[in-house]
Amino acid sequence: MPTPGIPRPGRRLKCKKSKSRSLPKSKPLLFKADKTKVSPHAGIYKNPRWYDIAFSFRDIQKECDFLAACVKKYSGRKLSSVVEMAAGPASHSIQFGQKGITVYALDKSPDMLAYARRKAKERGSRVHFLKKDMRRFRLPQRVDLAISMMDSLTYLLTDDEILTHLKTVAANLKTGGIFVLELLHPRDFFTEKVSFGPVWKVAQNGAKVIVNWGNFTDREVDPLSQVVRMWADLVVEENGKKFHLRSVAPERMLTLSELRLLIRLSGVFKIKALLGDLNFKQKLDNSRRSSQMVAVLQKI
């Protein structure tokens, strides 16, 4: 389930100021990560429809085409099965399910799973929804592709958790299977020159949602563990009423060198590509066009 809102590949969102928006502001604070015992963004995830609207700007069809192309390009197979971890509203899973692909969508949130099931049913998509922790799970069958979208890996706060996750994913992939990780560009953690927003507005089905996700000046950081408490706000206007949801999640700040090292230490994957977008043409670099850190891995 996504943490920060990563925008549509290659598109930088421009957000207009709204007089009705009143979001708390604070200075960056330091904290000890071991004292952070919270369910990530619990308040917002209990309102999955609004969350889904907030990220509805993404081009899911285009992203799924890219993901399927990764399997063809690096494993030589046509995509027939996929698992999406921390799936949230499961937009990618539902898109794949509509194409007749075998799909498993994993999440820990009962509210998100219930919402995603209804959404899949409404769209005529067959998806196997499972309440699972992405650190340890076992699927009924091995799959061609595993995906972790929208920075979900950063919910794993320690090296051991990430290594366990990598080994678990590999165990559920076919030989030569592909794992695509979509992460924030490291500059979004370490500088104020973020790749998106961090404020944007979306209107859909009579609901207007203003999002403030991960503002640089509204974070609490543990420099030793590189864990940041990422705050998020949703201001929703619907049926003449206004709602303000505010929540927090601890997230691990990952650098490229750390990601490379963890993948190597896992002993189960090799890096096939490092991209700055869900686009084969955009390599990972420090340019503004490189808005994300996308790692395409293959099971050894």
Residue showing tokens 């100021």? 17
Query: The tokens 């692909």 sit on which residue?
Result: 101
> What value, to the nearest 5°, has the Cα angle with vertex 50 and ends 48 and 54?
110
Q: pLDDT digits over 144-175, tens only?
A: 999 999 999 999 999 999 999 999 999 999 99
Per-residue pLDDT band for 275 (boundaries 50, 70, 90) equals very high
Q: Euclidean distance between the first and final Cα of the chain, in Å?
A: 26
- pLDDT per residue as tens digits for the range 192-251: 766 665 789 999 989 999 998 876 566 788 999 999 988 888 999 999 999 999 888 899
- Per-domain residue ranges of the chain: 29-190+254-299
Is pTM beyond 0.75 here? yes
Contacts of 261 (CB under 8 A, 6+ apart): none
Q: Which residues are within 8 A (CB) of 264 and not within 5 positions of it... i.e. 6 or more apart?
A: none
CB distance 46 to 68 below 8 Å = no
CATH topology of domain 29-190+254-299: Rossmann fold (3.40.50)
More confident residue, 186 or 214: 186
